[in-house]
């Protein structure tokens, strides 16, 4: 249950050989796995979200979404995902550029890459706990600052609210951005810059007319990936916010486990389906942008 998704990996283009049957057998385990753990659950959710408690067809679950507190959780989820993706994209790409301008085999690059690989996957309960232990109401940084006259929670405990979630999400968004955006920066050839300069272009011209347009699709695509990553994150928020269903995944959790009134699995599945639709849209845009990028940067 890691919060961060896997960075996109561009597979090598398969060569079409005559021995089709043998190569086909090799991917059977993969398709079985995808079928069992992706397609089957999705099908269960789709069926369940259109089913009423008695087993008949119903749209009531989707009407259940149209309540102020449900729409509010969608709004919160979208805001937190968008801001954390934007901040992660900006800081992550700057960091990536700093790394790219250094020695390609240098210690800095290897260290940053390794650290990012670890930190991009450092989500979930462990990350939430790390923040509670440092910046929580009794975290050691909080206590240290309090002893020096600074009360970071003077206006309320923001760590457990939207700003806190954004801060924590950015923690794994920046390294993820570095990992997925670095290949695009690596694809910028020094010769292009030299060409621009030899034709009398300034640094501004180079970025405006060469590097910028080349990197823009990749940058936007990576931002969308970060957005989907934050939107679908569950464990970090669940461990941090044990109180109140501020985000859609937490609403789903509440609907499945509520002990105060009849749990509503149908409504939970409808919410899940709505999330799936949003992620599918975002990831389709991501795929389109990636295709455009790969034409230039190989």
Partner 1 sequence: MKLGSLTRQLGLAALALLVVAACGSSSTSAGTTDWSKQASASAGGGMAALVAAAKAEGQLNVIALPPDWANYGAVISGFTAKYGITVNSANPNGSSQDEVNAFDGTPNAPDVVDVGQAVALANTAKFAPYEVATWGDIPAGAKEPTGLWFNDYGGYMGIGYDSSKVPAITSVSDLLGAAFKSKVALSGDPTKSNQGLNGVIMAAVANGGSLDDISKGVAFFHQLKQAGNYVPVVGTSATVKAGQTPVLFEWDYLSASHGKDVSTWKIFVPSSAIIGGYYSQAINNAAPHPAAARLWEEYLYSDAGQNLWLKGGARPVRMSAMTTAGTIDTTAAAALPAVNGTPLVPTGAQTSAASQYVVANWTAAVS
Binding positions for partner 1, rule: CB under 8 A: 1, 36-37, 40-42, 44-45, 67-69, 72-73, 132, 136-138, 153-157, 160-162, 234-235, 241-246, 252-254, 256-263, 272
Nearer to partner 1, 215 or 247 (CB): 247
The CA–CA distances, whole Å, from 102 to 94, 97, 193, 250 equal: 13, 9, 16, 42
Q: Closest distance between partner 1 and the C-beta of residue 40, in Å?
A: 6
Residue 272 or 289 having the CB closest to partner 1: 272
Q: How far is the CB of 265 from partner 1 (least distance, A)?
A: 9
Closest separation in Å from C-beta 159 to partner 1: 9
Cα dihedral sign, 261-267-269-271: negative
CB of 295 to partner 1, least distance (A): 35
**In angstroms, rounded to a whole number, what is the distance separating the alpha carbons of residues 285 and 175?**
22
Q: Which is nearer to partner 1, 134 or 161 (CB)?
A: 161
- DSSP sequence for 201-213: --HHHIIIIIIHH
Helical spans, DSSP H, in 66-161: 68-100, 107-119, 124-135, 140-147
φ, ψ at 57 (rounded to 5°): -70, 140
To the nearest whole angstrom, how small is the minimum distance from the Cβ of residue 177 to partner 1?
Answer: 25
Q: Which is nearer to partner 1, 12 or 138 (CB)?
A: 138
Place of tokens 């941090």: 240
Burial class (CB in 10 A: 0-12, 13-18, 19+), 215: buried
Give the residue with the Cβ less far from partner 1, 182 or 268: 268
CB of 238 to partner 1, least distance (A): 10
3 in Cβ contact with 172 (< 8 Å): yes
Q: Which is nearer to partner 1, 45 or 65 (CB)?
A: 45
């Amino acid at each position: 249950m890691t919060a961060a998704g896997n960075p996109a990996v561009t597979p090598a283009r398969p060569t079409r050989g005559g021995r089709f049957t043998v190569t086909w057998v090799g991917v059977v385990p993969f398709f079985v796995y995808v079928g069992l753990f992706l397609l089957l659950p999705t099908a269960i959710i789709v069926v369940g979200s259109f089913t009423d408690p008695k087993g008949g067809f119903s749209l009531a679950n989707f009407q259940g979404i149209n309540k102020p507190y449900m729409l509010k959780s969608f709004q919160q989820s979208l805001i937190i995902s968008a801001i954390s993706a934007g901040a992660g994209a900006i800081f992550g790409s700057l960091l990536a550029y700093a790394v790219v301008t250094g020695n390609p085999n240098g210690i800095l690059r290897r260290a940053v890459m390794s650290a990012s690989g670890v930190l991009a996957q450092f989500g979930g309960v462990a990350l939430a706990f790390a923040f509670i232990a440092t910046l929580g109401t009794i975290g050691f940084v909080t206590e240290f600052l309090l002893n020096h006259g600074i009360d970071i929670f003077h206006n309320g405990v923001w760590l457990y609210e939207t700003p806190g979630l954004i801060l924590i999400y950015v923690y794994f968004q920046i390294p993820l951005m570095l990992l997925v955006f670095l290949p695009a920066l690596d694809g910028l050839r020094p010769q292009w810059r030299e060409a621009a300069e030899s034709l009398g272009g300034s640094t501004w011209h180079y970025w405006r007319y060469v590097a910028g347009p080349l990197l823009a699709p990749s940058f936007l695509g990576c931002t969308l990936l970060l957005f989907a990553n934050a939107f679908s994150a569950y464990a970090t928020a669940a461990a941090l916010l044990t109180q109140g269903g501020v985000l859609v995944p937490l609403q789903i959790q509440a609907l499945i486990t509520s002990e105060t009134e009849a749990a509503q699995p149908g409504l939970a599945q409808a919410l899940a389906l709505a999330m799936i639709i949003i992620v599918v849209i975002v990831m389709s845009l991501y795929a389109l942008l990636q295709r455009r990028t790969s034409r230039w940067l190989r």
